[in-house]
């Protein structure tokens, strides 16, 4: 399967080494498009859908945080920040913006490739047809929209991905650890309390249909018709 990724980075050397490494390592299965600043990156994103986006933060024009916010308005495409800003508050802010991974420069190309490859495979695994549903809840997996009783609601990316995974495994108990690895990534360092907090917010967003998400004590959650 071929993937299209976008690298938005103002350092020409970093753009070149990432592009060359990914193209060579994947034997041509990963097509890399680059942008030299934030404004060009936004243009690329508006023109085409990508399977993965890599963003520097400190760039001329729109910074990486702004670009990530624009992406998250209508897409759950995986986003990786690659930046020299390694303070804890910057990293946490990056995850709040909706990134899937945060890598501090200098970095290992092999590690970056492994993380990107894992995100690509996982995100492609989310796509199961155009529409999936459970009871009053329906998800259009192409348009990334959620409707409850015919009324469209907006969900943040992580809540969308969480709901989608539960519906894809409806009537099954999904353990918290599984949700953490599938939605937040295998190297996420938080606790399973983050799952509980997002489920609580998701139930509130779904209104009456939130009751379809059942808590299984000491295990996790399941969604029922």
Q: 121: which residues sit within 8 A by CB, 6+ positions away?
A: none
Contact (CB, 8 A) for 73 and 94: no
Average pLDDT estimate for 60-71 = 89
CATH number of 3-125: 3.40.50.2300
Label the pairing between strands 101-104 and 79-83.
parallel
Instruction: Identify the DSSP state of 217.
Output: T
What region, left, alpha or beta, does residue 194 occupy, with left being phi > 0 and alpha being psi -120 to 50 degrees? alpha
SS3 call for 144 = coil
> Which has the higher per-residue pLDDT, 18 or 181?
18
State whether the Cα torsion 104-110-111-116 is positive or negative. Answer: positive
> pTM above the 0.75 mark?
no
Per-residue pLDDT, 140? 86
Contact (CB, 8 A) for 72 and 80: no
State whether the Cα torsion 62-9-106-5 is positive or negative. Answer: positive
Weakest-pLDDT range from 10-24, 129-143, 154-168, 200-214: 129-143
Domain 131-223 class, CATH top level: mainly alpha
Q: Percent of the chain having pLDDT more than 90?
A: 47
Average pLDDT estimate for 33-39 = 93
Average pLDDT estimate for 184-192 = 61
Query: 213 vs 15, 51, 109, 122, 127, CA distance in Å?
Result: 44, 30, 40, 23, 21
pLDDT tens-place string over residues 66-117: 899 888 877 788 999 999 988 888 888 888 888 889 999 999 999 999 999 8
Answer yes or no: is pLDDT of 18 > 70.
yes
Per-residue pLDDT, 16? 94
The CA-to-CA distance between both ends of the chain, in Å, stands at 34
Per-residue pLDDT, 89? 86
pLDDT tens-place string over residues 46-58: 888 899 999 999 9
Answer yes or no: is pLDDT of 204 > 90.
yes
Neighbours of 166 (CB within 10 A): 24
* Bond into 106 cis (ω within 30): yes
pLDDT category at 208 given cuts 50, 70, 90 is very high
- Tally the C-alpha atoms within 13 A of residue 204's C-alpha that lie toward its C-beta: 7
Q: Mean pLDDT of all residues in the chain?
A: 87
């Amino acid at each position: 399967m071929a993937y299209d990724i976008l690298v938005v980075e103002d350092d020409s050397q970093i753009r070149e080494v990432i592009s060359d490494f990914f193209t060579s390592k994947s034997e041509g299965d990963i097509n890399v498009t680059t942008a030299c600043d934030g404004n060009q990156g936004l243009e690329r994103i508006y023109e085409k859908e990508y399977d993965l986006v890599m963003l520097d933060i400190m760039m001329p024009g729109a910074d990486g945080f702004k670009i990530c916010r624009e992406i998250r308005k209508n897409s759950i495409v995986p986003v990786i920040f690659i930046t020299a800003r390694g303070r804890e508050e910057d990293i946490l802010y990056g995850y709040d913006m909706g990134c899937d991974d945060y890598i501090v420069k200098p970095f290992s190309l092999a590690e970056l490739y492994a993380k990107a490859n894992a995100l690509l495979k996982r995100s492609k695994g989310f796509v199961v047809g155009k529409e999936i549903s459970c009871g009053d809840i329906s998800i259009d997996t192409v348009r990334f929209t959620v409707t409850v009783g015919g009324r469209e609601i907006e969900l943040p990316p992580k809540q969308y991905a969480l709901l989608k995974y539960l519906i894809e495994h409806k009537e099954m108990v999904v353990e918290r650890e599984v949700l953490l690895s599938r939605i937040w990534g295998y190297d996420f360092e938080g606790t399973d309390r983050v799952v509980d907090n997002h489920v609580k917010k998701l139930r509130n967003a779904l209104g009456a249909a939130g009751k379809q998400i059942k808590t299984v004590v000491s295990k996790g959650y399941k969604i029922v018709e």
